[in-house]
């Protein structure tokens, strides 16, 4: 018998290549590990939510997970169709469940699928909890399962629509009626994912007009490399924004937990601009106060906003497994990461691309300004910062040698013409430049065989040079 692979959870759950390592057998093994984790906590007989995205066979993988949970005596709320990740997360709280399984690979390439787990708050499980789940994942012989029809007949699996409860909560968090009445022309790029249909439905019946592209199910994700809300994946949406004369482009990724924004001129507002824009909206327009939680890759404009408005800014490692627990601990006003995922107080501590996009629209309503003007408003307060990121595939067997090359760099050295003042090794290697000039971060992806180099500096003309030097540090140039 072939030896079964060891399953490791990365930045946000486990992901793999469909039919290679992401198989029904391995999904069932993961589910059994999660079931044992819940049972060890004394939650036998409690409710668990299971949902999925629109990737290849996701609904069938979700059904397999439900069968395993039911066989372990847990009661399952199984979504009746593809459901955005934030909606699944809210269902955990609404159903008073002890956790969730979400079958999604989020923004990964078309051939991948994934397995995310969530805690009773609807947020990501912390790193220690993920280690416990990993340790409990058995071989296939240790998996309990039962047929879905039998589980439904016994009342152990109940299919449901998670949308109504989520929408009711959404309307408490943002003024949807004001957006409907604003008369905007909104273009939505759903990236062939779970966000399709949501904004036309939420904003119907008023003066605002919503048009969509890439809104149906297509697991091969045409016209983009992957359903990740960054360029070049969003370039078709940006061009279409100008062609149709839209006021704004709203983007949701494959499972609708991440978001992106294009302005009225077809220019992409990057993640390190959108995060502080949303924070500014909460601070200045909504008058909220409270901590900001950011990953170390999420940018300096947030720190400057924190100083201006007298709110603390907490920095974590990359991933919501760090952000979500810190948000709960500090009652944070907003939390987020460089990848375009942002969470908000009053909601569950989970990234929410639907709520985030609606808040951006409300920012436009309350100020009477278009996206380009909102960016100018932000820069007037904290100055212009320039950001970019390069992702490079590398052979996994070279991971340690690459890490050692980067680790050999010392403060006082120069990257892209900037002197490095200090090095933060919380998650990867963040080289902070002297005099507040900016930073570059080199780290391994937690979900793919990719090394990422991120950069944020005050001089737009030197961004490429800094990124190139970051790649040279890793021996990839």
- The set of catalytic residues is 106
List Cβ neighbours of 286 (8 Å cut-off, separation of 6 or more).
Answer: none
Query: What is the full DSSP assignment across 79-143?
Result: ESS---HHHHHHHHHHTT-S-EEEE--TTS-TTEEEEEEE-TTSSBPPHHHHHHHHHH---GGG-
Radius of gyration of the chain (CA): 22
CA neighbor of 383 nearest in space, from 303, 440, 282, 292: 303
Q: C-alpha distances in angstroms, 429 versus 15, 190, 411, 445?
A: 24, 33, 12, 13
Q: How far is residue 363's CA from residue 273's CA, in Å, rounded to a whole number?
A: 14
Can you give 327-380 as a three-state secondary structure string? HHHHCCCEEECCCCEEEEECECCCCCHHHHHHHHHHHHHHHCCCHHHHHHHHHH
Q: Residue 50 to residues 31, 205, 240: CA-CA distances in angstroms?
A: 11, 32, 35
Sign, Cα dihedral of 165, 167, 170, 176: negative
Q: Positive or negative CA dihedral for 69, 72, 77, 81?
A: positive
Q: What is the DSSP letter of 267?
A: P
How many Cβ atoms are within 10 Å of 244's Cβ, its own excluded?
13
Q: Strand (E) positions, 234-291?
A: 248-252, 259-262, 268-269
Q: 255: closest CA among 72, 105, 95, 363? A: 105
CA dist., res. 346 & res. 352, Å (int): 12
């Amino acid at each position: 018998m072939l030896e079964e692979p060891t399953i490791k959870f990365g930045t946000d759950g486990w992901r793999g290549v469909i039919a290679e390592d992401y198989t029904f057998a391995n999904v069932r093994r993961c589910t059994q590990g999660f079931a044992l984790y819940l049972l060890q906590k004394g939650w036998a007989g409690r409710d668990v939510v299971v949902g999925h995205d629109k990737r290849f066979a996701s609904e069938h993988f979700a059904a397999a997970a439900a069968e395993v949970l039911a066989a372990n005596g847990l009661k399952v709320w199984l979504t009746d169709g593809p459901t955005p990740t934030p909606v699944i997360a809210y269902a955990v709280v609404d159903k008073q469940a002890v956790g969730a399984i979400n079958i999604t690979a989020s923004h990964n390439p078309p051939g991948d699928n994934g397995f995310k787990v969530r805690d009773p708050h609807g947020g990501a499980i912390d790193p220690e909890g993920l280690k416990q789940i990993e340790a409990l994942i058995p071989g296939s012989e240790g998996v309990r399962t039962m047929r879905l029809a039998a589980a439904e007949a016994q009342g152990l699996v109940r299919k449901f629509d998670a949308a109504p409860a989520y929408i009711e909560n959404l309307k408490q968090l943002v003024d949807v009626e004001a957006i409907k009445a604003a008369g905007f022309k909104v273009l939505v790029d759903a990236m062939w994912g779970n966000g399709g249909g949501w904004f036309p439905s939420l904003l119907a019946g008023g003066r605002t007009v919503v048009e969509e592209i890439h809104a149906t199910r297509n697991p091969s994700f045409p016209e983009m490399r992957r359903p990740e809300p960054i360029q070049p994946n969003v370039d078709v949406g940006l061009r279409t924004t100008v062609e149709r004369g839209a006021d704004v482009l709203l983007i949701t990724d494959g499972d609708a937990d991440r978001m992106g924004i294009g302005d009225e001129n077809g220019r992409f507002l990057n993640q390190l601009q959108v995060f502080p824009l949303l924070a500014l909206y909460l601070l200045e327009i909504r008058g909220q106060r409270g901590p900001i939680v950011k990953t170390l890759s999420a940018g300096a404009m947030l720190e400057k906003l924190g100083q201006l408005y007298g709110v603390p800014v907490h920095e974590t490692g990359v991933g919501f497994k760090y952000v979500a627990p810190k948000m709960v601990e500090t009652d944070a006003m907003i939390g987020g990461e460089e990848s375009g995922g942002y969470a908000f107080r009053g909601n569950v501590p989970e990234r929410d691309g639907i709520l985030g996009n609606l808040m951006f629209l409300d920012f436009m309503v309350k100020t009477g300004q278009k996206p380009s003007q909102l960016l100018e408003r932000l820069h007037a307060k904290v100055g212009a910062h320039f950001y970019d990121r390069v992702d490079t595939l590398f052979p996994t067997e070279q991971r340690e040698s690459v890490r050692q090359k980067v680790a050999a760099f010392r403060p006082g050295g120069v990257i892209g013409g900037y002197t490095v003042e200090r090095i933060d090794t919380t998650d990867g290697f963040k080289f902070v430049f002297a005099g507040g000039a900016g930073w570059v971060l080199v780290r391994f992806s937690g979900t793919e065989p990719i090394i990422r180099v991120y950069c944020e500096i005050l001089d737009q003309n030197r961004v490429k040079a800094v990124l190139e030097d970051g790649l040279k540090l890793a021996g990839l140039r």
